[in-house]
Amino acid sequence: LKDAENTELPTEVRLRAINQIAGIGGGNEGRGEVVFSRVCSACHRIGDTGKAFGPRLDDVGIRYSKAEIIRHTLWPNDTIAKGYETVQV
For residue 64, what is the DSSP state? S
Residue 27 scores a pLDDT above 80:
no
Mean pLDDT of 54-76: 92
pTM recorded for the entire structure? 0.80
Question: Any alpha helices (H) in the chain, and if so which ranges?
Answer: 2-5, 11-22, 29-38, 60-63, 66-74
Mean pLDDT of 49-76: 92
Work out the percent of the chain whose per-residue pLDDT is above 70.
100
Calculate the average pLDDT of the chain.
Answer: 91
- 20, 22, 26, 34, 38 from 46: Cα distances, Å: 27, 22, 22, 13, 13
User: Pick from 74, 76, 32: which is nearest to 54 by CA?
Assistant: 76
Q: Would you state the pLDDT for residue 88?
A: 86
Distance between CA 84 and CA 55 in Å, rounded? 7
Residue 87 scores a pLDDT above 90:
no
